[in-house]
Structure formats: structure tokens, C-alpha cells
Amino acid sequence: MGKRIITSLLVSLFVSISLFADGYIDKQTYVYSVKDGSSLKLDRYYLKDDEAVAVKVTPCIVFMFGGGFAAGERDGEQYVDYFRKLVERGYQVVSIDYRLGMKNIGDGSQIDPMRFAALLTNSITMAVEDLFDATTFVYNHAEDWNIQKDEIITNGSSAGAVAVLHGEYAICNNSKLAERLPQGFNYAGTIAFAGAIFSTSGDLKWQTAPSPIQMFHGDADRNVPFDKTEMLQVGLYGSKHIAKQLQELNTPYYFYKIENAAHEIAERPMKENINEICSFIDKLIIGKGNLIINTGEMEIDKPELKKDFDLMDYIKANFGG
């Protein structure tokens, strides 16, 4: 009996590190910055090749976790299997820490919308600053890590999706934050699971067209607007609204709409849409396809969900109340 257990453990270990004939998935952790007395780390997931095999230069996906800018971990169990799947498909993944500006916000029902706007603006600014610093760290190590410098892609879930969309928006609008990146750098593309762009100056305006963007979003999302919500000059602009603007700009994008689905779409694509994600990368980013793709799905016979929300609904959904 004891021999069987030991044999099983050895077989399991062998399988876990021998995913390919010529290598296995490895993970390395680095400190990319120290801010406010805390070390910000990133995890690099990659295929570690046998020394006899020629090393392949690969695209890299920089991932930001979700959690309403109040919680979350770069190595959350809901993400790690997704990272491994991407590595199996031939990409490297770098999952990063970022500072959580909403961590001590308390009960959302007590927050005035204008106060919320200030808090969210600060939280997004910190997250994008950290994204850019992590990106620069990756860029500076690209040769050592066998990463293709012009194929660095951002990807985020929920708050992470908000941050990566804001990162691309900042670059397109020559934001001072973008000066933290290598000169002339832009991401090869952006992948957002239930993301939006926040503005305190009215509707979004793109000074230059963005790199290809892929967006997944449920049209009954109560946490992050599917379309848009506005109050005076303050607005949250979701995937549907962004897709409409990108179509007007006649620039490549991929919009995947899930009808009658809520905020579960912040994570579900990582399990169910790996083929669509890789197709986007291969066709629109690596293949530089000049494509606009609008697609989606609908679950039949599912009870109809509420889809009409205002700004306070989104605040309460994310921060209690």
C-alpha cells in the first residue's frame, strides 16, 4: 500500500512538470518596485525549455487581478490555471501586484458620488502607474526572458480590466503617466474581462487609435457598466460603448457580448473562452489582422436579469450597502 502511494505521488509529480516533451512550466517571482514601504511583486510563468532545445522568443501577457481595487492577489487560484493554459499555447504570462486604493473604503452606501469619483480616480491612477512600472521591468528583462518586446499584451479581470483599459487610453492620449514607459512604447494589444474606462471630463476621446482591444462583458453586469453610466461630467464607459467608439474610429477590436450575464464574465472567459482569446492574439496582434469582430452568446431559458443601473448601483455593488 505504501509503495502504491509513493508511486502515485511520483507519477503525479512527473506529470505536473512534464507537460511537454521539451520542457515544463516554471514560475519565478521578482520585486519590480517598492512603494509606500511595500514590495510590489510579479510572477513570471513560462515554458522552461530543455537546454538542448533552441529557445523561442514569445509574446508576453501582463495580467492584473480583479477585486474592486480593494482586494485580490496576483496568484489567486481562479487565475493560475488560466496562466498555465496560456503558457501551453506558446505565450509567457506575468501576473503583477498593484496598490489597492479602495482597500479601506468601507460601506459604499455612505459614499457621495463625487467623493467616490475622487477615490476611484486615485485608485486607477495608482494601478496604472504600477502597471507601467511592471511593464518597464518586463521590457528591460525581455532579452533575458526571451520575450518579444513588441508583443507585450495587457490583460485584466474586473478592476484589473479597468486598469489595463486605462493604461491603453493613457498612452493614446499622451498622459504624463505614460512617460513611465520606455520611449515610444505601446502595448501590442489589450484583453479586458468586464472592464470600463472612468472619466471625470465627459465622454471618452481618443487622440490616437489604440492597439487592438478584446473585450468580454455581460449585458447585466451590476459591478462594471456594460454600456455606460453618467452623472454630469462623471461617467463609467463599458465595453459596449468602447466598442462603438472603436468602430467609429475604424480600428481593429474584438467585442464578445454575453447576453443576460452579470459580473461572472470577469472570470468565465478564462475557463470557457481560451480559444477566442488565443485567436485574438494570433489574428489581430501577431498576425496584425485589420479586423473588427462583434460576436457573443446567449444562454437559453435563463431568467431575465436586471440591466438598468445607475452610478449608485455600481458603487453599492462593489463596496457594500
- Whole-model pTM: value is 0.91
Query: What are the structural domain ranges in the chain?
Result: 24-319
Report how far residue 84's alpha carbon sits from residue 48's, in angstroms, rounded to the nearest whole number: 12
pLDDT score of 116: 84
pLDDT score of 7: 36
Class of domain 24-319: alpha beta
Buried b (16+ CB within 10 A) or exposed e, 109-132: eebeeeebbebbeebbbbbbbbbb
* pLDDT tens, position by position, 258-290: 999 999 999 999 999 999 999 999 999 999 999
pLDDT score of 23: 60
Sequence-ordered list of residues with C-beta below 8 angstroms from that of 300, at least 6 positions apart, any chain: none
Kindly give the pairing relationship between strand 58-64 and strand 147-157.
parallel
* pLDDT tens, position by position, 152-184: 999 999 999 999 999 999 999 999 999 999 999
Report how far residue 235's alpha carbon sits from residue 221's, in angstroms, rounded to the nearest whole number: 16
pLDDT score of 92: 98
Q: Phi, psi (5° rounding) for residue 225?
A: -60, 135
Q: Which of 168, 184, 176 is nearest to 242 (CA)?
A: 168
Looking at residue 247, its amino acid is: Q
Buried b (16+ CB within 10 A) or exposed e, 151-186: bbbbbbbbbbbbbbbbbbbbbbeebebbebbeeebb
DSSP secondary structure code for residue 200 in this structure: S
Could you state, in chain order, the average pLDDT of each consecutive group of 10 residues for the chain (321 residues)?
A: 36 38 81 96 89 73 97 96 97 98 75 84 98 99 97 99 99 97 98 98 97 98 96 94 99 98 98 98 98 95 91 79 49
pLDDT score of 16: 38
Sequence-ordered list of residues with C-beta below 8 angstroms from that of 289, at least 6 positions apart, any chain: 252, 283
pLDDT score of 320: 63
pLDDT score of 2: 40
